[in-house]
Amino acid sequence: MFRVTREIDFCYGHRLLNYEGKCRFLHGHNGKAVIAIEAEKLDERGMVLDFSDIKRVVSNWIDENLDHRMILHREDPARATLEKLGEPLYLLDENPTAENIAREIFNYAHAQGFPIVECRLWETPHCFATYYR
Amino acid sequence: MFRVTREIDFCYGHRLLNYEGKCRFLHGHNGKAVIAIEAEKLDERGMVLDFSDIKRVVSNWIDENLDHRMILHREDPARATLEKLGEPLYLLDENPTAENIAREIFNYAHAQGFPIVECRLWETPHCFATYYR
Amino acid sequence: MFRVTREIDFCYGHRLLNYEGKCRFLHGHNGKAVIAIEAEKLDERGMVLDFSDIKRVVSNWIDENLDHRMILHREDPARATLEKLGEPLYLLDENPTAENIAREIFNYAHAQGFPIVECRLWETPHCFATYYR
Amino acid sequence: MFRVTREIDFCYGHRLLNYEGKCRFLHGHNGKAVIAIEAEKLDERGMVLDFSDIKRVVSNWIDENLDHRMILHREDPARATLEKLGEPLYLLDENPTAENIAREIFNYAHAQGFPIVECRLWETPHCFATYYR
Amino acid sequence: MFRVTREIDFCYGHRLLNYEGKCRFLHGHNGKAVIAIEAEKLDERGMVLDFSDIKRVVSNWIDENLDHRMILHREDPARATLEKLGEPLYLLDENPTAENIAREIFNYAHAQGFPIVECRLWETPHCFATYYR
Amino acid sequence: MFRVTREIDFCYGHRLLNYEGKCRFLHGHNGKAVIAIEAEKLDERGMVLDFSDIKRVVSNWIDENLDHRMILHREDPARATLEKLGEPLYLLDENPTAENIAREIFNYAHAQGFPIVECRLWETPHCFATYYR
């Protein structure tokens, strides 16, 4: 079995609702998304999928949707204010935890027909969340 | 499926009994324990478990039991001498290899009711052991 | 000559005024502050300064002032709104670039009588700014 | 269950046939092979396998066969020329992608009776391929 | 004093003439160029120079001249053969050591009027060369 | 000006006398020594000094003197006991802090006629000491 994995760096802001700790305040992270694809056989080039195709599909979407913006719960009280300020938010139906951002990236790639088997999101240099089906 | 993983740095000394190589001498390492927890569904905060809960449970125990001390086989000939010197040892029933230290951390977390699924111990920058059930 | 250096991880949000690129939007980073201290001679313990003293002085201040909050230009149009939302901002007289945040940390440590000679701030895994006098 | 993993650094050159991108030109990488071994029980020393045995078996073979040389498709048009120049090539029946190099290392270790369960090859700091059976 | 530093990843092949060790064979590396710029005062944006300007000037040149190709001594016996094969070489008047590649990147940036003060080239994960004037 | 730098990994145990914190207990670290050499001109091979010469001179000495052993103050009360146990200690006239170990490595290299200009010792993943003249 073959698996190829590519890491994609971006940065984002967020905060958590219904949370007691420091993460309830607006702040941000250098996220590192780690995308894994699997195949039983390689194509005629000897690849599961070209690393640059992972980049083209997933990295471009991250650049345009998550990178350098706030990722917020759709019901975050700060939402309306930040939108008035012209901020390009990315909204989730749930808290923008590492778990939910990992799933969001997984789901986008999967919906594009991309054979993703796992998505990790490093939120800090020592913590990451993984989503897989 | 969701998994969250947190790395915990500490440092320790050890040595191996019945071993021919350099590891038979007292020396030490910067260990990095990597704790993984899994859940099928997230809680209402959007989390498998709060990263800071992993820290609270596992990191505190590591700080008080493994960090900045010698981890030795219970039958290590150096044990009595070091205890006389007032050294706060951590003793195992087996050799304090990366494998056994990984299991020791896993078992502690599991015994506390912590839903751990895997524990890794990086012993050097290029070598680690993983324990899972 | 001896120098000791300690890295301190934290995370923060920011944005830049009068800037054309993506950094004009609210976002954030995992910052890594790198604090360097120098001495010609070591103290009786064999130290320039205890690594844990660097942590005590600088890391505590970072935790309470910069960590998990937005670092903004004092005249940022978002300031009033975010303060109304109860957000604990850290304000600078200038843009919160890596350069200015590095200087801010340097100046705090220096003002406390701390013999700092250089402060770096890693803003992303591939970019950092250094301030020294 | 126990698993031990060791990383082995080496460097190599390669290029890909039937490929449109930049990888069709001769270039190279710092490869990092990551070798994983599993066992249900530890031996009397408390080990799955000694880290230095992984080094002895796999690292020596990598040093003598892959390190500091070109890894090429057996039908690469450059092969004859480079052999005339006295270059010590390592030839594959397929393109020398990260996927195929990972499998090559896996297969060598397995053929030596080595209980390998997975081999990763980091081709760049952000991309790796994994082979397992 | 302020300094900003940016790391740029690329990969290349090379070999050394008049050298006894393994580096006399064609092979390659993941190079990491580290570009440093200094200024006494920041501009009105609070910057020494925008990180993305370093990328625009230096990274683009590296992409077009050094990335994914062989960097060879102008008198390398392999040169003629590789050119016949259509390989896009980058030629130096001296051996393509880490030292000389670091200087080459420094000189390019400097010749473009770029206020570079130092260029490092990581040749492997544990070795780098630095050039400065 | 050219500088070449090489990192050398090893592991050791130590403890500090006359110290209040946890470092007064026997423990250990994965040390990373970082050796820097400078030259105004390169030799005919295009090198300050061959990276493998740094390895040959400094790394071999570290392997035989510091690696996998306790580094202790000559007057450490544990010395006699550990020597009776047959432990191969490395003794310093002062506390085995990162500062003093960095100087020890610097001094050895310098005494061998090695043109070293700086030696760093990473004691943990976030702390290092530097010695230079």
DSSP symbols for C63-90:
HHHTTTEEEEETT-TTHHHHHHTT---E
* Residues in chain C closer than 8 A to E46 (CB atoms): 16, 94-97, 99-100
Residue with tokens 């694809």: A37
- Is residue C5 predicted with pLDDT exceeding 90? yes
User: Which amino acid belongs to residue D31?
Assistant: G
* Residues in chain E closer than 8 A to F44 (CB atoms): 18
* Residues in chain E closer than 8 A to C100 (CB atoms): 42, 46
- Is residue E60 predicted with pLDDT exceeding 90? yes
- How open is the CA angle E38-E42-E43, to the nearest 5 degrees? 120
Q: What pLDDT was estimated at residue C55?
A: 87
Measure F45 CA to nearest chain C CA, in Å: 31
Average pLDDT over residues D13-26: 96
- Tell me what percent of the residues of chain B surpass a pLDDT of 90: 93
- Is residue E101 predicted with pLDDT exceeding 90? yes
Measure A102 CA to nearest chain C CA, in Å: 17
* Residues in chain A closer than 8 A to C75 (CB atoms): none
Average pLDDT over residues E67-81: 97
Answer whether C7 sits within 8 Å of F100, measured CB to CB.
no
> CA C76, CA C26: separation in Å to the nearest integer?
11
- In contact, B48 and B3? CB cutoff 8 Å: yes
User: Which amino acid belongs to residue A124?
Assistant: T
Give me the residue from B27, B68, B125 closest to F9, CB to CB. B125
- Is residue C77 predicted with pLDDT exceeding 90? yes
Answer whether C46 sits within 8 Å of F127, measured CB to CB.
no
Q: How many residues make up chain F in this entry? A: 133
Q: Is D23 an annotated catalytic residue? A: yes
Q: Which phi and psi angles does D84 have, rounded to 5°?
A: -60, -35
- Tell me what percent of the residues of chain A surpass a pLDDT of 90: 93
Q: Which of A11, A64, A68, A94 is catalytic?
A: A68
Measure C69 CA to nearest chain A CA, in Å: 5
Name the residue of chain A whose CA is nearest to D119's CA: A2
Q: Do chains F and B touch (3 or more CB pairs under 8 A)?
A: yes
According to DSSP, the β-strands at A116-124 and E69-73 are unpaired
- In contact, C17 and C32? CB cutoff 8 Å: no
Answer whether A133 sits within 8 Å of B1, measured CB to CB.
yes
Average pLDDT over residues A89-103: 98
> CA B101, CA B97: separation in Å to the nearest integer?
6
Measure E81 CA to nearest chain C CA, in Å: 37
Measure C46 CA to nearest chain F CA, in Å: 6
Answer whether D131 sits within 8 Å of A8, measured CB to CB.
no
Name the residue of chain D whose CA is nearest to E30's CA: D29
pLDDT tens track for C41-62: 999 999 999 988 888 889 999 9
Q: Which phi and psi angles does E44 have, rounded to 5°?
A: -65, -15
Answer whether E27 sits within 8 Å of D14, measured CB to CB.
no
Q: What pLDDT was estimated at residue A87?
A: 96
- Find how far residue C12's CA is from the centre of its chain: 10
Chains with 3 or more CB pairs closer than 8 angstroms to C? A, E, F
> CA C29, CA C121: separation in Å to the nearest integer?
11
Name the residue of chain B whose CA is nearest to F12's CA: B27
Helix (H) or strand (E) holding A66: none
Q: What pLDDT was estimated at residue B9?
A: 98
Q: Is B38 an annotated catalytic residue? A: no
Average pLDDT in chain C: 96
Helix (H) or strand (E) holding E43: none
Q: Which of A29, A104, A119, A123 is catalytic?
A: A123
pLDDT tens track for E107-119: 999 999 999 999 9
pLDDT tens track for A30-80: 999 999 999 999 999 999 999 888 888 999 999 999 999 999 999 999 999
- Is residue E55 predicted with pLDDT exceeding 90? no
Give me the residue from D23, D77, D88 closest to E25, CB to CB. D88
What's chain D look like in SS3? CEEEEEEEEEEEEECCCCCCCHHHCCEEEEEEEEEEEEECCCCCCCCCCCHHHHHHHHHHHHHHHCCCEEEEECCCCCHHHHHHCCCCCEEECCCCCHHHHHHHHHHHHHHCCCCEEEEEEEEECCEEEEECC
Answer whether C46 sits within 8 Å of F130, measured CB to CB.
no
Answer whether F48 sits within 8 Å of E126, measured CB to CB.
no
Q: What pLDDT was estimated at residue C31?
A: 98
pLDDT tens track for F50-68: 988 888 899 999 999 999 9
Answer whether F2 sits within 8 Å of E133, measured CB to CB.
no
In sequence order, what DSSP letters do the residues of F60-92 get, joined into one string? HHHHHHTTTEEEEETT-TTHHHHHHTT---EEE
* Residues in chain B closer than 8 A to F26 (CB atoms): 13, 26, 69-70, 82, 87
Q: What pLDDT was estimated at residue B55?
A: 87
pLDDT tens track for B62-97: 999 999 999 999 999 999 999 999 999 999 999 999
Chains with 3 or more CB pairs closer than 8 angstroms to B? A, D, F
According to DSSP, the β-strands at A69-73 and A2-14 are parallel
Nearest residue to C69 (alpha-carbon basis) of C49, C52, C89 = C89
User: Which amino acid belongs to residue C48?
Assistant: V
This prediction has a pTM of 0.96
Average pLDDT over residues E21-26: 96
Answer whether C129 sits within 8 Å of E7, measured CB to CB.
no
What's chain B look like in SS3? CEEEEEEEEEEEEECCCCCCCHHHCCEEEEEEEEEEEEECCCCCCCCCCCHHHHHHHHHHHHHHHCCCEEEEECCCCCHHHHHHCCCCCEEECCCCCHHHHHHHHHHHHHHCCCCEEEEEEEEECCEEEEECC
Q: How far are the Cα atoms of C21, C111, E122 from residue E115, in angstroms, in the given order?
A: 22, 31, 21
Q: What pLDDT was estimated at residue E30?
A: 98
Q: What pLDDT was estimated at residue B81?
A: 92
pLDDT tens track for B38-59: 999 999 999 999 988 888 899 9
Q: Which phi and psi angles does C37 have, rounded to 5°?
A: -125, 140
| CB neighbours of residue E101 within 10 Å | 26
User: What tokens does F55 get?
Assistant: 């390895």
- In contact, C39 and C46? CB cutoff 8 Å: no
Q: Cβ neighbours of residue C19 under 8 Å, at least 6 residues apart?
A: C95, E45
Residue with tokens 């991250």: A62
Nearest residue to E87 (alpha-carbon basis) of D67, D76, D12 = D76
Measure F99 CA to nearest chain E CA, in Å: 21
Q: Is D29 an annotated catalytic residue? A: no
According to DSSP, the β-strands at A90-92 and A69-73 are parallel
> CA F110, CA F103: separation in Å to the nearest integer?
10
- In contact, C78 and C26? CB cutoff 8 Å: yes
Q: What pLDDT was estimated at residue B111?
A: 96
Answer whether C28 sits within 8 Å of A14, measured CB to CB.
yes
